[in-house]
């Protein structure tokens, strides 16, 4: 297991791999849920014939959110990028922790079969946070590949913003629009995840 050399406690590099794959899984789940769940925004609940599917999505999204929240908080606490003033703690740890909370809120709302509208308000603020992170990456040239990171973070922000119309109306095209951006978000992060895994598995140069 590869670890960073540092005076403080740090999580293994492998956590970044699993976090990126977890984000990809979450995006796929959200996109499929938007298409398949018979959610009625006018009633603020999923129809009875979607009960079992609703609980299944609640469990899957909840577990993905829990892992993302725990790993995000652990990065914020244990990954002291002192040379950068903590900037990457914010980019990775803060974003993951807030994203995990948004997923957990979605999971609870689905499990209780209550309205998803309030969750979308949380998502919008989270989206603003991700959009600001994306802008900062391009402005300051953060990460090893600012363009790729920018697209990854901006794709999350776009899906977060589109969660509002998707949860406030019963228009199927708005649901599909959210789903399309969720799948684009999944592709962007799937590419990131594959690069993390490939890079971390590459043997060190001799």
What structural domains does the chain harbor? 14-200 (1.25.40.600)
CA–CA separation, 82 and 6 (whole Å): 9
2: pLDDT strictly greater than 70: no
Q: What confidence tens digit (pLDDT) does each residue in 21-47 have?
A: 999 999 999 999 999 999 999 999 999
With a pLDDT cut of 90, the percent of the chain lying above it is 70
- How far is Cα 156 from Cα 143, in angstroms, rounded to an integer? 17
pLDDT digits (tens, 9 = 90+) for 84-139: 445 666 788 899 999 999 999 999 999 999 999 999 999 999 999 999 999 998 99
86: left (phi over 0), alpha (psi -120 to 50) or beta: left
pLDDT of residue 206: 67
């Amino acid at each position: 297991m590869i670890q960073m050399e540092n005076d403080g406690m740090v999580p293994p590099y492998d956590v970044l791999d699993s976090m990126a794959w977890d984000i990809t899984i979450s995006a796929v789940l959200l996109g499929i849920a938007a298409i398949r769940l018979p959610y009625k925004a006018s009633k603020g609940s999923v129809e009875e014939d979607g009960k079992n599917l609703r609980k299944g999505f609640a469990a899957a999204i909840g577990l993905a959110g829990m892992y993302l929240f725990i790993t995000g908080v652990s990065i914020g606490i244990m990954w002291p990028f002192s040379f950068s003033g903590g900037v990457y703690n914010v980019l990775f740890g803060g974003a993951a922790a807030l994203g995990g909370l948004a997923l957990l809120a979605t999971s609870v709302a689905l499990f209780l079969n209550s309205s998803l509208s309030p969750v979308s308000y949380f998502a919008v603020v989270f989206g603003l946070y991700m959009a600001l992170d994306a802008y900062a990456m391009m402005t300051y040239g953060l990460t090893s590949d600012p363009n790729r990171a920018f697209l990854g973070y901006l794709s999350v922000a776009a899906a977060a913003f589109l969660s509002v119309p998707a949860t406030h109306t019963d228009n199927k095209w708005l649901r599909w629009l959210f789903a399309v951006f969720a799948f684009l978000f999944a592709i962007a992060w799937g590419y990131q995840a594959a690069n993390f895994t490939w890079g971390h598995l590459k043997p060190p140069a001799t």
